[in-house]
Amino acid sequence: MQPTEDILVLKKINKAFPGVKALTDMDFSLRRGEVHALVGENGAGKSTMMKILSGAYKKDSGTIFFEGKEVDITGPKFSEELGIAIIYQELNLIHRVSVAENVFLGRPPRRAGVIQWGRMYRDAKALFDSFDIKMDVYEDVRRLSIAQQQIVEIIKAVSINAKVVIMDEPTSSLTENETQILFRIIRSLKEKGISVIFITHRLDEIFAICDRMTVLRDGCYIGTRDVKDVTKSEMIAMMIGRELKQQFPERSAEIGDECLRVEHMSDGGRHVKDVSFSVRRGEVLGFAGLVGAGRTETMRLIFGADHKAQGKIFIDGREVSIASPRQAVAHRIGFVTENRKEEGLFLSLPVRNNIVAVAIDKIKSFHILNFGKEKEISDKYVRDLQIATPSINQRVVFLSGGNQQKVVLAKWLLSDSQVMILDEPTRGIDVGAKREIYEIINQLAAQGKAIIVVSSEMEEIMGISDRILVMHEGEISGEVKKEDFSQSTITEYAVGGA
């Protein structure tokens, strides 16, 4: 049966966040019983759209039609009652209770207020049986594999009569075999007339399971195509086809000797498999790739934050042992983490405490903290990095994202880091502050530091790097020199080669 009737239609949806336009005049239509791929780079607006459908965000303007009627999705409850179910990457299951209880979470079968356990298990079993899935409904969810947990989520969605199931990168943590099982379930959903929005980075999967695809880029609707009519290279062109429009400051740093070299590093194959590379003084080395490709994990291994199964690290040609962040700091490696609030800052402590957190020895005289020196140093960095704060005694929680990031940078600058690792250094900060961060990166390169930048923003990584390594599924899938930078080359490596 060829699906034709539209179940869900989005017209001219707009959504803006302070400083960012997340969705601009987004159009989308979903037919009953189709599997519709939603693709785009990181930050293209996929998750914003998903959150509008789930009721987590409110749209600024535009209209949503569900089964032909205009609806105003006011909250998660409303969306659920409409029949929209979302399966997030972070699964929403209660780990310590049984599969059946999870399926009927919050609405167990009751008679006179008493839960009917027998019926609950029977009903759950029947649901799984209707999909030909073998599942022990008495088992605790925590004993299931990720793939099985995902199936439980899907069955839960079906049990609340979902008509539209949105899956956010459901295959990202599945093996090939498990993916096939998931696809089989998706096909049975189709047969039952349930529509699926399938968000993925893996282009092959679109060909394997999807009927149509819609491409988003920079929050804009680019186009919808029947999957059977497009080629992979057309898809990539749709995903990235745009001009570089952000300006990146010129850099005049001289690239010197090798500073850091990593050989055959792995964490036992979970996220990082046999990564080798080197970076030179004055060089900015970019790490591109999709979310989950193992870039952050690689950096954490270098920094000693996670346990290395294998691999050697050389600094200035000498092998060093780094088993903890303390040792990394001692070897003058700095790490500006991806999540500054969770991993980089002491939010309720003042700016001054944060700046001296790593190099506290610098403000000590005879084992006693010298507050005068602390003030002097903090003031200097606030001035040099133009951190907008009323005073160094302001708690960092009250600073804007860009200024918080500068505080993190100051912390590592004060500790004289020779190797500076920056993981998504401009995430969540506005355009003006971004440029300032790029300028700081340039200054660091000019001072002869070796810089590694992990970024999922294509323009950014091409704009600031001297050389780009692309990672795919825990391995370096390609190296691109500055003269060969192109979005299509990098994207091809990022999705595992064309």
Partner 1 sequence: MGDKNAIKEKTSFGQKLNKFTDAMGVWLVVLLFFIILSVATDNFLTYANLTNVVRQICVNALVALGASYVILGGEIDLSTSNMCAFAGCGAALLMRAGVNMWLAMLIMLVVGALIGCLTGVIVNYLKIPSFIASLGMQYVILGTTLLLTNSEPISGLPEGFMTFGRGYIFDVIPVPVIILAVMFAIGGFVFKYTSFGRSVISVGENITAAKLSGINVSRTKVAIFSIGGFSAALAGIVLASRLSSGQPMAGTDIGLQAIAAVYVGGTSKGSALNVLAGSLALGLVNNGLNLLEVNAYWQKVALGVIIIFAVLMDQVRASKTAKK
Q: At what angle do helices 401-414 and 371-384 cross, to 10 degrees?
A: 120
- The window from 44-52, 65-73, 98-106, 323-331 that contacts partner 1 (CB under 8 A) reads 323-331
H or E stretch at 326? helix 325-330
Nearer residue to partner 1 within complex by CB, 66 or 335: 335
Using CA atoms of 277, 279, 285, 290 in order, give the dihedral in degrees to the nearest 10: 20
- How would you list the strands of the sheet with 284-289, edge to edge? 333-336, 419-423, 450-454, 284-289, 467-472, 475-481
Provide the minimum distance between the beta carbon of 328 and partner 1 in the complex, in angstroms, as a whole number.
Answer: 7
Specify burial of residue 213 (Cβ count, 10 A radius: 0-12, 13-18, 19+).
buried
- The window from 38-46, 212-220, 266-274, 329-337 that contacts partner 1 (CB under 8 A) reads 329-337
User: In this structure, what token pair is assigned to residue 81?
Assistant: 């009652």
Nearer residue to partner 1 within complex by CB, 388 or 397: 397
Q: Which residues in the 414-443 window bind partner 1 by CB under 8 A?
A: 415
Nearer residue to partner 1 within complex by CB, 404 or 491: 404
Q: How many residues bind partner 1 (CB under 8 A)?
A: 32
Among the listed residues 22, 23, 31, 28, the one whose alpha carbon sits nearest the alpha carbon of residue 3: 31
Q: What are phi and psi of 295, to 5 degrees?
A: -70, -50
Nearer residue to partner 1 within complex by CB, 155 or 357: 357
A 10 A CB-CB count for 25 gives 13
Provide the minimum distance between the beta carbon of 267 and partner 1 in the complex, in angstroms, as a whole number.
Answer: 17
Q: How far is CA 234 from CA 42, 210, 455, in A?
A: 18, 16, 24
325 binds partner 1 (CB under 8 A): yes
Q: Which residues in the 334-373 window bind partner 1 by CB under 8 A?
A: 335, 337, 342-349, 353, 356-358, 360-361, 364, 367-369
Provide the minimum distance between the beta carbon of 342 and partner 1 in the complex, in angstroms, as a whole number.
Answer: 6
243 binds partner 1 (CB under 8 A): no
Residues 377, 363 contacting (CB under 8 angstroms): yes
Provide the minimum distance between the beta carbon of 377 and partner 1 in the complex, in angstroms, as a whole number.
Answer: 14
Tokens 């091409």 belong to which residue? 462
Provide the minimum distance between the beta carbon of 168 and partner 1 in the complex, in angstroms, as a whole number.
Answer: 25
**DSSP 8-state assignment for residue 95:** T
Nearer residue to partner 1 within complex by CB, 162 or 329: 329
Residue type, 203: L
212 binds partner 1 (CB under 8 A): no
H or E stretch at 120? helix 117-130
361: Cβ contacts below 8 Å, ≥ 6 apart: none
Nearer residue to partner 1 within complex by CB, 350 or 448: 350
- How would you list the strands of the sheet with 212-217, edge to edge? 69-71, 61-66, 6-17, 20-31, 220-226, 212-217, 35-39, 195-199, 164-168, 84-87
463 binds partner 1 (CB under 8 A): no
Figure out which of the listed residues 215, 329, 445, 453 binds partner 1, where binding follows CB under 8 A.
329
Nearer residue to partner 1 within complex by CB, 217 or 352: 352
Q: Which residues in the 219-238 window bind partner 1 by CB under 8 A?
A: none
328 binds partner 1 (CB under 8 A): yes
User: In this structure, what token pair is assigned to residue 203?
Assistant: 């282009």
Q: Which residues in the 396-415 window bind partner 1 by CB under 8 A?
A: 397-398, 411, 415
Provide the minimum distance between the beta carbon of 408 and partner 1 in the complex, in angstroms, as a whole number.
Answer: 9
Q: How far is CA 363 from CA 367, 393, 407, 412, in A?
A: 9, 16, 17, 15
71 binds partner 1 (CB under 8 A): no
306 binds partner 1 (CB under 8 A): no
Provide the minimum distance between the beta carbon of 141 and partner 1 in the complex, in angstroms, as a whole number.
Answer: 23
391 binds partner 1 (CB under 8 A): no
- The window from 199-207, 230-238, 327-335, 476-484 that contacts partner 1 (CB under 8 A) reads 327-335
Contact footprint for partner 1 (CB under 8 A)? 303, 305, 325-326, 328-330, 335, 337, 342-349, 353, 356-358, 360-361, 364, 367-369, 395, 397-398, 411, 415
